[in-house]
């Protein structure tokens, strides 16, 4: 994945989780600002982005962009201010995601929510490689992105949000799916996924999702 595609994704599949009438938005890891830019009706769109080139591109789209990591940006962020915080594929890059989830509540206004997505380490291709190929190879992007510090399942994501004091309003799988093809690897992945889901009577249905998307609010 190139730098442009990595930081320039608009993430249309997350838009359905955005509540209406969000006036002040904060996007952590905003990339080039394409996602927040598309949210209509907002009066302010803030972004926190450590990558200098992406932050520079986002400045043309957002109200204010802070070119820092979240921990470094905290003094620049008004508390109890944002009615929407966005974290698309960001939490897994944090060395202490529990600390982040507890601290980000300080910046969410009453009635505000956090929306985001996170990779699913139980995605069937990853499971197949662990169980049958006996492999866990880090890559430049994807579930085993070498910049990931944390790995999540649906269950552990729910636990992390709840432990941090969030009330989950919605959490479901997005992207991925079972890809059928004639190559031996595509066939192996698809057969493994279909049999796993069928033999578990749907209990392993989560393995078809590449990511989970969520919306939660602080339980005040």
Asked if residue 127 is part of any domain, the answer here is: no
Asked if residue 129 is part of any domain, the answer here is: no
Asked if residue 101 is part of any domain, the answer here is: yes
Asked if residue 24 is part of any domain, the answer here is: yes
Asked if residue 132 is part of any domain, the answer here is: no
The Cα 16–Cα 164 span in angstroms is 24
Asked if residue 198 is part of any domain, the answer here is: no
Range of the structural domain that residue 96 is part of: 3-119+145-176+210-218
CB 164 within 8 A of CB 101: yes
220 residues of the chain, pLDDT tens digit each: 344 455 656 678 899 999 999 999 999 999 999 999 999 999 999 999 999 999 999 999 999 999 999 999 999 999 999 999 999 999 999 999 999 999 999 999 999 999 999 999 999 999 999 999 999 999 998 999 999 999 999 999 999 999 999 999 999 999 988 888 778 888 999 999 999 999 999 999 999 999 999 999 999 6
CATH code at 152? 3.40.50.150
Asked if residue 43 is part of any domain, the answer here is: yes
Domain count, the chain: 1
DSSP string of 156-209, one letter each residue: HHHHHHHHTTEEEEEEEEEEE-----SSHHHHHHHHHHHHHHHHTTTTTGGGGE
For 73-109, what is each residue's pLDDT tens digit?
A: 999 999 999 999 999 999 999 999 999 999 999 999 9
Asked if residue 131 is part of any domain, the answer here is: no
């Amino acid at each position: 994945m190139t730098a442009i595609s990595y930081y320039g994704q608009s993430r249309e599949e997350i838009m359905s989780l955005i509540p209406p009438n969000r006036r002040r938005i904060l996007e952590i890891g905003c990339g080039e600002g394409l996602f927040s830019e598309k949210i209509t009706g907002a009066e302010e769109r803030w972004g926190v982005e450590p990558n200098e080139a992406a932050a520079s591109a986002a400045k043309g789209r957002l109200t204010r962009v802070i070119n820092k990591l979240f921990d470094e940006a905290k003094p620049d962020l008004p508390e109890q201010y944002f009615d929407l915080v966005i974290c698309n594929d960001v939490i897994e890059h944090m060395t202490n995601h529990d600390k982040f989830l507890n601290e980000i509540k300080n910046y969410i206004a009453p009635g505000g929510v956090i929306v985001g997505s996170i990779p699913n380490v139980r995605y069937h291709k990853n499971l197949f490689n662990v169980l049958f190929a006996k492999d866990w190879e880090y890559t430049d992007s994807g579930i085993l992105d070498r910049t990931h510090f944390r790995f999540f399942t649906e269950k552990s994501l729910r636990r992390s949000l709840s432990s941090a004091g969030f009330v989950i309003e919605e959490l479901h799988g997005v992207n991925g799916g079972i890809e059928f093809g004639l190559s031996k690897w595509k066939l192996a992945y698809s057969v493994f996924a279909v049999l796993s889901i069928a033999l578990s009577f749907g209990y392993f249905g989560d393995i078809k999702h590449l990511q989970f998307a969520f919306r939660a609010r602080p339980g005040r």
